[in-house]
Every structure is written in C-alpha cells, then in structure tokens.
C-alpha cells in the first residue's frame, strides 16, 4: 500500500469512527445475531490474491458490525463499563502507528519512562503511599496471577520457580465467596490448587467475614499448611461489596501473609476523597490492581498493578538469556521482568492523554455523575411497589428484580426475571446482565459509560417497567 493510499483509507477509517460515535445510539446495544451468523458470511478459505481495501472495508460494515455488541453505547449497562474516551482512542491510534514493542527500556525508552511516570500520577490520584510502584498489565486477571506467583515465591523463599511444588507443604489462599473468578483461575495456574483456596463467607453487606478468615487460617496452620495469600476485593462483581482491609490487613501482618487487593472495577472510585476509606489499612497491603480500562475513561486494555516491593516481582519473573541483555540493565526498569509476557504494548500513552485532557477534576466529575445516576435509579426502584433492590446501590451498580405482588415463589420469580432480561436485551435498546444472591436471581445495571447521561438511565428504567408489566 502506497503512503498516499494509506492516507486516504486512514481518513476514511477516522471518518467512519467519528460517524460511529456520533450515531452509536442507532445501533442495537447487544448484537442481534445467532451463533454462526458471522461465520456463515465468511469464505471458508483465505483469498489467494489480495483484495481491494474498498472490498474489505465494505465487508467490515456489512459482516462484522452487525455481529458486534456496542460497549460504548450509552445504554450499555452489562457486566462493567469498558469506557473508551475520545482522548484515549486518539492515543491508541498513535500507539498503533508507532507499533512499538516495549519489552525493555532500550526497545522504547519513552514508553518505559512514561509508564513509570503515569503509574505514579495514578498512584497519587488514588491515594496509595509513595512506596507503591506500578506496572501496566493487560487485565486484572493477569495482575492477580502475578501477585499470586510473587506471593508463592515469597512464602517459599523464592524456591518454587526452580524446584517446583513437590518438596513443599501445601500452600493455602483465601478470598470471599463473592470474589471474582479470576482468583480461582490464578490459584489453578499458580499451582496452588483450587482445593487449597478457602472461600470465606460474607456478612450481610457482602464483605468478607473476618472472624471466619482468622479461623480458616488457624485451621490450615494446625493442618500443617502454609497460608500464602489473602485476596481482598473492593467492589465485588455480584453486588459491589467491599472487604474491610483494615481488619484483614491486621490478620495478614500477624501471620505474614501476602495481601493482594482486587479493586478491578471500583478502584477507580479511589480518586474520590469520599471513597478513600476503602484503603484504610493500606499499610498491610502488598499489591493492588485496578482497571482504568473499566471506569477511568481509558480504553481496554489498561490494568494498573501496584506492588509495595517491586523486587518481589523481579525476583519472581526475571529470566535473562543473552539476547535480552542490554547495556543499561542496571540503571533502568525493564518491565518485561515485572510480569508474564515479554512483549508489551505502549499502553501508558493513553493514560497520559486521558489524565492530561480530563485532569483530576474532570475524572472526578465523571465518576460522581455515574454514582449519582445509580443512586437516582435505586431511589426510583425503591419507590416502585413491584420492584425491589437486592442490595444498596454500590458505586455505579444497581442490583434489583421485578417482584409483582401476586408472586412470591422464588423459582417463579427467578424465571420471570430471567425472561425479562432476555426480552430487554433482545429489544436492542439496552444491555443488562444478571446476578445471583444466594438463590435469588436479579438484574444488574452497571452505569459508567463515557456517553451515559440521565436520559439513558431514565429511558432504561421506563423500558424495564413497561416490559415487566406487559
């Protein structure tokens, strides 16, 4: 492709992008396709001769777009937001242009130094003490795995990497019953074994029962096991529960257990002084992850992983073959040694664009607006006789169900709400997902899109009521 042809198609791509963002509300939020619909439109074998960019671009619009769910749609309320602000999108365009592989300082010094600097800016914004150092990971799942591997090596005096787990007493780990599935996955991959992961019950506010945690640890010690890591959650996926770091931290310090904090979604709220109470007890925390790619206007992927002692990471992950040695190794950070992958994208650029273009106050205003919308929706649900909140609103998350007076059978209500969810999502006008609290099935509405305004939440609430009642 000649530079001039590239320029012309690049302009088309950008025009398409601007049109898309402007008209996004005309798309059905959730893709209205069935399994196999997209595949059926693709040739079974690759083209022998190259095709024109016009043909490819047309097929992108015709074949791919109908099979996409529109995460940036202002009525996207499913899972958690993955909010991509325009400044972050612009930075990603430039990052794609550079197409740099930033595994070592030398392979792109500015990328490494900007990453160090942006994670320090973010650290200040969320109020972590100065000893915490950060690194960008692709996802919170990866960050939690890295934390567990570092915790495992710390507990075993950095011997498992070499010896494997065979000569060790079983290690145990702890999280609440409401913790994210990425914890189970990390425990499995780290070789600790999911049978040694203790799921501690939660209290009525969906926070880990700290007495039960202490008892579980005592029990494991009596069995001859080695308590290795506690994973506390700030903002559980189901209902937004917040574990008590202070009390958990005291236990971890007493027993010398690594404390990792999974704040993937709700950690962004730490930029608000009114949510700083969540990290009371930070003195006992060894690592923390939160995702700017969920709620801090920075598009996927960008997960901020902080550790109190970065040498625990480098001791866990450094492998230095001859071909990776560089002259500056002793003076610089090589982020390849802070995680699993060798190759690294230049993700700090979008943070720089986002943090500069919004500023602290702009970011705070965004989050507060979402939190206020969630509160307003919760008030409306509370006031409706045939709907009920399943938990108090948490951050931008509201969990509720339809509960008409004439019906009080749990399984019937569960089926009614599952059907309601199906109908709502099929309408294309909004996208919600569900949660289960005990055996109660409910709908979950996560507010946090870049373009989500009061009208979108109001319209969603009207639609939910209408569909439920007809």
Ligand X SMILES: *Cc1c(COP(=O)(O)O)cnc(C)c1O
Near ligand X by CB under 6 A: residue from 261, 264, 363, 424: 264
- Residues 113-152 touching ligand X, rule: CB under 6 A, are 139-141
Instruction: By CB under 6 A, tell whether 291 contacts ligand X.
Output: yes
Q: How far is the CB of 395 from ligand X (least distance, A)?
A: 11
Q: Which two tokens stand for residue 379?
A: 């008030």
Cα(84)–Cα(14) distance, rounded to whole angstroms?
Answer: 15
Site string for ligand X, 163-182 (x = CB under 6 A): -----------------x-x
Instruction: By CB under 6 A, tell whether 242 contacts ligand X.
Output: no
Length, in residues, of the chain: 470
Contact yes or no for 453/372 (Cβ under 8 A): no
**Sign of the C-alpha dihedral, residues 457, 461, 467, 470?**
negative
Contact yes or no for 360/366 (Cβ under 8 A): no
Cα(131)–Cα(308) distance, rounded to whole angstroms?
Answer: 6
Q: How far is the CB of 317 from ligand X (least distance, A)?
A: 18
Helix axes 245-255, 210-222, angle to 10 degrees: 20
Q: How far is the CB of 402 from ligand X (least distance, A)?
A: 25
Near ligand X by CB under 6 A: residue from 72, 88, 298, 303: 303
Q: How far is the CB of 271 from ligand X (least distance, A)?
A: 17
Q: How far is the CB of 447 from ligand X (least distance, A)?
A: 15
Q: How far is the CB of 296 from ligand X (least distance, A)?
A: 13
* Residue closer to ligand X (CB basis): 105 or 265: 265
Instruction: By CB under 6 A, tell whether 265 contacts ligand X.
Output: yes
Instruction: By CB under 6 A, tell whether 77 contacts ligand X.
Output: no
* Residue closer to ligand X (CB basis): 285 or 468: 285
Residues 220/223/227/233 CA torsion (nearest 10 deg): -20
Q: How far is the CB of 144 from ligand X (least distance, A)?
A: 7
Q: Which spans in 158-291 are helix H?
A: 160-163, 181-189, 210-222, 245-255
The bridge status of strand 226-233 relative to strand 171-176 is parallel
Q: Which two tokens stand for residue 200?
A: 């501690």
The number of residues that bind ligand X (CB under 6 A) is: 14
Segment contacting ligand X by CB under 6 A, of 119-127, 167-175, 261-269, 387-395: 261-269
Cβ neighbours of residue 420 under 8 Å, at least 6 residues apart?
A: 402, 443, 464, 467, 468
Residue 271: how many other CB atoms lie within 10 Å: 21
* Residue closer to ligand X (CB basis): 156 or 269: 269
Instruction: By CB under 6 A, tell whether 80 contacts ligand X.
Output: yes
- Residues near ligand X, by CB under 6 A: 80, 139-141, 180, 182, 233, 235, 237, 262, 264-265, 291, 303
């Amino acid at each position: 492709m000649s530079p001039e042809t590239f320029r012309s198609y690049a302009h088309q791509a950008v025009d398409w992008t601007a049109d898309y963002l402007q008209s996004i509300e005309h798309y059905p939020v959730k893709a209205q396709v069935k399994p196999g619909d997209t595949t059926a439109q693709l040739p079974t074998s690759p083209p022998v001769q190259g095709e024109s960019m016009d043909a490819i671009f047309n097929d992108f619009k015709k074949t791919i777009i109908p099979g996409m769910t529109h995460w940036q749609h202002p009525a996207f309320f499913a899972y958690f937001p993955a909010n991509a602000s325009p400044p972050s999108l612009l930075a990603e365009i430039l990052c794609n242009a550079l197409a740099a592989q930033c595994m070592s300082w030398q392979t792109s010094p500015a990328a490494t130094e900007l990453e160090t600097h942006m994670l320090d800016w973010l650290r200040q914004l969320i109020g972590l003490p100065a000893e915490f150092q950060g690194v960008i990971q692709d996802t919170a799942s990866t960050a939690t795995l890295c934390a567990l591997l570092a915790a495992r090596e710390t507990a075993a005096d950095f011997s498992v990497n070499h010896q494997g787990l065979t000569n060790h007493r079983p290690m145990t780990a702890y999280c609440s019953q409401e913790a994210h599935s990425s914890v189970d996955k990390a425990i499995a991959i780290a070789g600790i074994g999911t049978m040694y992961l203790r799921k501690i019950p939660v209290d009525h506010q969906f926070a880990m029962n700290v007495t039960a945690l202490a008892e579980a640890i005592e029990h494991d010690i009596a069995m001859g096991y080695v308590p290795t890591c506690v994973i506390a959650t700030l903002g559980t996926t189901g209902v937004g529960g917040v574990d008590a770091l202070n009390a958990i931290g005291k236990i971890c310090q007493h027993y010398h257990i690594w404390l990792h904090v999974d704040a993937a979604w709700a950690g962004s709220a730490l930029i608000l002084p009114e949510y700083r109470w969540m990290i009371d007890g930070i003195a006992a925390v060894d690592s923390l992850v939160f995702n700017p790619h969920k709620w801090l206007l920075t598009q996927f992927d960008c997960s901020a992983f902080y550790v109190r002692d970065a040498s625990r990471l480098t001791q866990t992950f450094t492998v230095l073959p001859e071909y990776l040695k560089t002259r500056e190794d002793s003076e610089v950070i090589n982020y390849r040694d802070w995680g699993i992958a060798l190759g690294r994208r230049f993700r700090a650029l979008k943070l720089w664009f986002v943090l500069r273009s919004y500023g602290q106050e702009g970011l705070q205003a965004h989050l507060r607006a979402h939190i206020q919308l969630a509160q307003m929706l919760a008030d409306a649900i509370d006031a409706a006789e045939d709907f009920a909140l399943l938990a108090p609103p948490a951050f931008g998350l509201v969990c509720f169900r339809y509960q008409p007076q004439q019906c009080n059978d749990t399984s019937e209500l569960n089926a009614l709400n599952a059907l309601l969810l199906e109908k709502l999502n099929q309408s294309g006008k909004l996208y919600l997902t569900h949660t289960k609290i005990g055996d109660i099935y409910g709908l979950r509405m996560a507010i946090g899109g870049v373009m989500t305004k009061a009208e979108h939440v109001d319209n969603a609430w009207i639609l939910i009521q209408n569909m439920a009642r007809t």
